[in-house]
Every structure is written in structure tokens, then in C-alpha cells.
A and B are shown apart, each in its own frame.
Chain A
Amino acid sequence: MNKQIAEVEKLTVRIGKKTVLNDIQVQLQKGESVVITGRNGSGKSTFLRCLAEVILPDQGSVEYSPEISREKIGFISDQISLFENFTVKQGIDFHSSVFRITDFDPTLINELKLNLNQKIKTLSAGERTLYHLSLILSQKPQILLVDEIIHVIDPFLREKFLEAIIDLISQLQTTVIMVNHTFSEIEKIPERVLLMENGQFIMDEKSEALGTKIKKIVSEKKIPEEIPCIFRKESSFYQEYFIYPFKEELRKKFPHDYKDLSLTEIIKAFIGDQYAKKRIP
């Protein structure tokens, strides 16, 4: 069993009268890769910012194990926040001095062929993301927090970005926590999926277990109510039923073609379920 590196206790964050995170409890393990997903506005980015201590909770806490100092937490926000008036070189020097980095690794920057005297504000979104990642990689982070950023990067840079993350996990056993909606390109990364809704985690599953726990039935007819369906997708000719939690006994009791789902489809189903619930008063 992996070592626990962070414990989130009763985490609550409010913005005005709205409770964005509501009494969250979760543990994070060393070296695990976690994807947090959920509807827009469900609180994913706020949770990630709480882990990065960029947002401080109104109640509750995020407790890191003693070996995790703030210097070992890397955070790439969806805002790609950096000091834009700095040149690439100034940004590296500043980051290195603040995080006490003595051996900055320029590989990624070299691959991007960035001019060191170029202002950060002149970099494209993808370049800035990779540049920021290169800064963080030099920190040798124990925890890497990545907000919804992948969709702004072109496929070439995206591949580099993901390769760097996979290397990080394998080399340093870094815990990677990503907020994401699309899984097509990162299906191999997450070991654990957290689904967030209304500021709470409503699902916390290992991704390999998730494939066995959710199945799909495509049928022209209505399926029996005894089959636990979390979401139904209707079309003119047939209906798709997403079954959760799926148990093998269901195959014998209610014979259907129980189809396996990709991670992307599973997440879509869960998010679709939340939208469906929201529509029903």
C-alpha cells in the first residue's frame, strides 16, 4: 500500500453565499495519479487551488505529510499565471532562487526553442504551459497539481506535456492531480478518478475498478427497474442505459449485452447523470 502524503479534512470554501467546497474529506497517496472531473462549476479548480494553498479554506484543512514542503508542490493553473513582464531567463532565475533550484533542467525549453530574452507575455498559451511545467519539473515536485490546461495546448505540445508528466511519475513517484474533462489522451495516466458535484466528491474509484463497475446496455426497449441505471441516453431508435454499480449477477438475472466503456464514456455518463438530476426538480 502506498504512503499517504496528504489528508483533506472537512474542507469548506465559500464564495459569497455560495458554498463551493462542502465538507470534503479525502486522502492522497504518494505516487498516485488522480483525475478530478465533474460538471463545470462543481468545485474542481477550487479544490485544486486549496491543495496548492492558493485558496485558503474557510473551514477544514489540507494536511501534508512532513516531507512535503511548499517548495515540493507544483501548481499549473488554468490561468497559466506567471510574471509576464519577465523574460524567459528572468523567469527561470526568479523561480530558481525562490525554490532554491540549483540544477535547472533546460531540456523542455530547448525543445521548444524558446529565446531566453523573449518576454513571457509573447509566448503562446502552449509554450507558456510547457515553460511553466519546465520550471516546476526543476523543483522536483512531490505533488503536481494541473488544472484544466491540456485543451489549450496543440497536439504536439500536449504529447510533450503528458510525456513529461509520465516521466515525473515514474522517476520521482510524484503524486499528480489533474482536473480534466476529456480523457481520450490521458486514459493511461489516472489510477484514480474523483467525480465532483456541488462541492463534494460523489465518486472516488480506482480507474481499473471503474471499468468493471459500470457497463452500458443498448436496447430498443425499456430495461427492468431492478437494474441500477445512473443515466439514460435516448435516441429515435434505441436507448443507452448506463448501469452502476454493475454486478456479475445482473448478467444471469437480466440477460442483456453489457458493454464495456472507456473512461471518457464513463465520466460522460456520470456527468450526464448530474445534468439529468439537475433538470428534474
Chain B
Amino acid sequence: MLKKEFREVLQQLLYFILVMALLPLPLLIFKIFLDQSYFGVFYILYHFGLLFLALFMGASLFSGDRAQGGMEYLISLPYSRLQLAGFKILPRLIAIVIFYLVYLVLYQASGESYSIFFFLFFTTSYLSLFLIGVSLSASSDSFLVLSIASLFSLFVYLAFFYLDYIAAFLIRGVHMERLAFEVDPESIILGFIPLAALSLVLPFLVAFILSFKKFDVRPAKVYNKRYLKYFTPLIAVGLVISFCLAYLGTGWVYKLYYLTEDHKLIETGYYSKIKIYEKDRVHTINYKFDFFWPYLEENEYVYDMYGESVVRLNTSDFTIDTLVEVPHERNVYRGSWKYDQTIVLLEKKQFQPSLQLALFDESSKKIRKISFSHELLKDYSLPNIFGTDKIDCQRFWLICSSVPMDNPLLRMWEDGSIENIGMTQRAPCYVNRMLITYTEEALVISKDIEGTFQGIMEIPEGKDWHFRVENIRSNLNNMPLKGIYGRKWKSRIIGRLNLDTFEIKEIAEKLGYIHYIYPSDSYFVEINRPANLIKIYQLKEEKLEFLKSFPDFDIREPENRLEVCKGGIIFKKGKKIKVYDFPDLKELEFKKL
């Protein structure tokens, strides 16, 4: 019996392969697809071909037997109905899986980069269409009717699935306009999507199994009545489960926390309301972002760049202002920084030899734009502003690439001119009006002398170090520092570069992270993975001053997170949140947290 089914499926697949192989040719000959290779057209068509295959393989489960008048003979064979269904489904399921694996190989070969959301959507549609087709395959003698019914069911299935999520988000009070198009791949929601999809497709499969157990040669309406008798309650249960999963999925969104300097804890989640916890009260702001994550804190304000806008949250009166809205344009890289009263946005189209700075004055609320053009900008990848200053009343901004060894550092002047200030092996920093870069021989300290950066000091042992002030990357104010901390390259040794004497001193050898807290504090978080221990130190001059240890915290657990903020440190362990202030690391209590 299995042999017969495999032979039937193989015959059908041969036709499918033949059609798929030949179909691109007329499309290429008649230039329906422009600028596409045979493989390119084949790959595009393969998506549609796969969906058709799923529909055909599912819905035609019994079509072959019906077409040759063998249905009665088939069910008179000495097999139970479920055995028969198994014989029918197995080779088709294998074919479905194999052709999906082929799709994955083609995807790899195509060099395309789909979002995980598209993958989930396509895979769900593909498998569901097959299972729905199987489920309905015994419902009619006509393959056309079965195909239409399967496609309609798939449409309803996807609509239910989508509505479940919409309902779940709506109940949670989430903005809908951005939903589904900007699903965060890291979000745990995606983990629930297959489960919710499964809970909606299972009723089709279970109803088929239960009703097919008593399948016979009576008219289809008898079978369909029985199918509906099982399907109706099952789909109702499926909908409830899928809704619950969607609700759980949307609730189990990752929460981010930020502690302000004056000890207000900001909680944001994926499309959740913003909550601001204080010692004895909680304030909810009914304004939802996909995530609100302050990149900068100044006075009572925290700033974030949300989509195309720079928004500012006032933690005193709990208002949110949209400061700058940038018109949407494709392939534009944007960043946002701040100094004095100016928020600076950087815009760059990929592969264009130009770049634009938008300067927003927070007090006058006016925008000034400066455009820069240079061949060097054409292939400049992900530009970053790492410093700004004024010389002779003219401001400049220092630009580095996220891949600094491939792109030169640029100084961009207010008048629109661009100056190449050389290469660096590691990310540079601009501190105390000094530019710190790295060559293969030394750490180089340069200063602007008569309009050009000139090296004033080369520190050979510095070539193995990397000193950073990355935590103030969004704050471009030039705060004078006595020293900056860094790590010896590819080691656990931490050290300090004295900005007066230019001496480098090793401080300790520990695994962990240095956190610079603007304007002048630095902390070190030591991570002892085997012991699940976190130790917090304050970096004072050339010493590590131990503050507190936190046992039983495994940072490798995906649910655990440690945040170092301006106001203190936050431990998120599963759903438990513990907050400690700087510099005492005294635990802070928040109402209803």
C-alpha cells in the first residue's frame, strides 16, 4: 500500500519539478522579470510553487483513488481507516518536508535575508495549508472544491490567528499601527507564534482523524456533518488556547528597566505602557513604544530615539514630547546625540557619497541641517559621532565608522567641509579635547593645533589597550576627566590612562565590564560565571574599590539581565527585579514593583 502511495506521490512530484523547472523560461523570454537570472526567477516562483504543492499534496489525498473509481475498493482493503490515512499522509508529508528543506537550501544560495517574521509566516502558511488540505481531503469528490475550501480555510485560519494577536494586544492596550510589521526578532512573542499557530491548525487535524475513523462510501454530506460535529468544538477550544497563548506571548514581552539619577525606575516593554516607579507610587504613562530605552539622561529628562523621532520623557511631570520628527526615507542610517542644548541627528543613505546632520535646538525648537559630500562617504559603514568641539567659533563633529579599521576618521566642519584625520585600529575617543587613536605601533594622542590634528604623544605600550568612554557616546559634552579606563586587548586586564601624565597603569585582572557614568564616575561589574556571582566595584583613580557582591545570579540565563544606569544597578532575575543605588548599592524599594 505504501509503495503505491509513494509511486503516486513521486509521479505527482515529477510533474511539479518539471513545471517548476520550465516555468521560468517563458517569463525570462518575455521579460516579465527584468534583471533576473534563471535561478532568481526560479527562486521567486518556488515560493508560490511550494504553497501550491502543499495545497495539492494535502487536498488530493484521495483524489487519485476517486478519479479512478477505486474509493470503495480502497476502503474495503484490510486496513483500518486510520492506517489508510497514515499510508496516504506519510509519503506526502515526507515530500512536503523535503521540498521545504530544498527551499532552505535555495534560500541560502540566493543570499536573501528575510525577516524571521516572514519565515514564520511562510512556514506557517505552507504547513498549515498542507494540514488543512489533508483535513478537508475527504470532504468532497471534487479537487477544485477541496482546493477552494482549503484556501478559504487557510485565509480564515490566518485571519483568526492574526485576530487572536490583535485581540491580545488590544486587551493589553497596545498600539496597532506598528504591529506585525516591526516584530522584534528577539522578542519572546515569536516563540509563542508557532504554538498559537499549532493550536489553531490542530483542530483541523484532530477533526479529520476523529471523523475519518468512520469514513465510508456514503454521500460526503454524512461525513461532513460528522466532521463539523468534531471540528466546531475543537476550533472553539483552539481559538481559546491560541488566544491565551497570544495573550501570554504578548504579556511575556521583555521588560527593560532604567534607573534615573534621582532614583526613578522606568519600566518599558514591547508595546507596553511606560511605568515609572517611585518609592511610594507608580505612574503609568499611556504612551506605547515598541521599546523606550533612554540613551541619554539630563536633569529630569531622559531621551530616546523612537523610530524616526527623538522623544523626551519628563520624569517629573510624566509628559512625553516628540522633539524631532524625521520624514521616513529608505536606507537611511540614523543616530542621535546631544551636547549643550543641541540634539544632533545623523542621516546617511547607503552607498551615497553624502551625509547630513540635523541640529535641533531644544530651546528654540528649530532644526538646522548641514549636508556633507565626499567620495569617502560612499562606502562609509554605520557612521557614529564620537566627539564635537568648537575651534575659532566654528563647530566640528568627529565621525568614525562602526568598523574603524576600514574607514578613516572624519572631522566635519560646520561650513560643510570634511577633513580626513586618519585611520585607527580600534574605536577612537575624544576626551579633554584630545583625540585618542590606535596604530599597530602605539596609542596616539592628538590635539588640534592650528586647525589640524597633530600627534602630541605616542604610547607604544598603549597599542595593546583599548580605552573607551562608550557610555557617554550619546552625550557629547566635553567633560574634563583625569583619566579614562580601558581593557588590555584580548585579555581580562583592566587599566587606566592618566590624561595628565599619559601613563597607563594596570589595575586588576578580572572578567567583567567597565561602565562609565557621566560625568565622572566609573564602575566595574565583575562576572564570576562558575560561581554565579556578580561583584560591583567603583573605579577610583588607579584602584578598584569593592562595593558589594550579588550571589546566585547566572547572567547566562536568557531571563536574567543586569543593567547599569546612571542612578544605580538593576538585577532582573526572571520576573524579579532588584534595584540598588549608586554609589552605596543600597537596595531601593518601589511600590508595586
Contacts and interface: CB of A to CB of B under 8 A. Distances in A.
Query: Range of interface residues on chain B?
Result: 20 to 34
B219 interface: yes
A94 B3 CA distance: 9
Interface string B46-84: 000000000000000000110011111111111100000
Contacts of B1: 97-98
B510 interface: no
Interface in B209-256: 214-219, 221-222
A56 B216 contact: yes
Nearest to B71: A81
Contact of B216 (A54, A69, A75, A81): A54
B70 A55 contact: no
B4 interface: yes
B217 A84 contact: no
Interface string A72-97: 00010101011111000000001001
A84 B68 contact: yes
B68 A52 contact: no
Contacts of B214: 56
Contact of A15 (B4, B76, B79, B222): B222
A14 B3 CA distance: 35
Contact of B218 (A15, A70, A71, A81): A15
Interface string B1-33: 101100000000000000000000000000000
A19 B78 CA distance: 27
A19 to B, nearest CB: 13
B221 A81 contact: no
A81 B73 CA distance: 5
Interface in A81-135: 81-85, 94, 97-99, 121
A93 to B, nearest CB: 9
A83 B217 contact: no
B4 A94 contact: yes
Contact of A79 (B64, B69, B218): B69
Contact of B221 (A16, A84, A85): A16
B68 A70 contact: no
A138 to B, nearest CB: 14
A22 B66 CA distance: 29
A55 B71 contact: no
A14 B226 CA distance: 12
Given A55-B216, A98-B1, A83 B78 contact: no
A113 B89 CA distance: 37
Contact of A81 (B64, B70, B78, B215): B70
A85 B66 CA distance: 11
Nearest to A13: B218
A67 to B, nearest CB: 14
A25 B75 CA distance: 24
A84 B70 CA distance: 7
Interface string B178-194: 00000000000000000
A98 B73 contact: no
A94 B65 CA distance: 14
A53 B218 contact: no
Contacts of B216: 49, 54-56
A75 B79 CA distance: 14
A14 B215 CA distance: 14
A70 B219 CA distance: 24
Interface string B70-110: 11111111110000000000000000000000000000000
Contact of A98 (B64, B77, B215, B219): B77
B252 to A, nearest CB: 45
Nearest to A69: B78
Contact of A71 (B65, B71, B75, B78): B78
B68 A16 contact: no
A131 to B, nearest CB: 12
A70 to B, nearest CB: 4
Nearest to A121: B68
A259 B1 CA distance: 56
Contacts of A81: 69-74, 76
A52 B76 contact: yes
A94 B218 CA distance: 25
A71 B76 CA distance: 9
B79 to A, nearest CB: 8
Contacts of A83: 4, 65, 68, 70, 73-74
Nearest to A120: B68
A84 B74 CA distance: 12
B219 A15 contact: yes
A159 B221 CA distance: 39
Contacts of A52: 76
B75 A54 contact: yes
A142 to B, nearest CB: 13
Nearest to B214: A56
Contacts of A98: 1, 77-79
Contact of B69 (A54, A82, A99): A82
Interface in A25-52: 49, 52
Contacts of B221: 16
A265 B145 CA distance: 48
A82 B214 CA distance: 21
A54 B76 contact: yes
A56 B217 CA distance: 9
Given A54-B75, A83-B73, A99-B78, A49 B65 contact: no
Contacts of B75: 53-54
Nearest to B81: A56
A90 B523 CA distance: 81
A79 B72 CA distance: 8
Nearest to A119: B68
A99 to B, nearest CB: 7
Contacts of B74: 81, 83
25 contacts: A13-B218, A15-B219, A15-B222, A49-B217, A53-B75, A53-B76, A54-B72, A56-B215, A79-B69, A79-B72, A81-B69, A81-B70, A81-B73, A82-B69, A82-B70, A83-B65, A83-B68, A83-B70, A84-B70, A85-B64, A94-B4, A97-B1, A97-B3, A98-B1, A121-B68
Interface of B: 1, 3-4, 64-65, 68-79, 214-219, 221-222
A-B pairs, 3 with minimum CB distance: A81-B72, A70-B78, A84-B68
Interface of A: 13-16, 49, 52-56, 69-71, 75, 77, 79, 81-85, 94, 97-99, 121
Given A16-B221, A81-B71, 13 more contacts: A16-B222, A52-B76, A53-B75, A56-B214, A71-B78, A81-B70, A81-B74, A81-B76, A83-B4, A83-B65, A83-B73, A84-B68, A94-B4
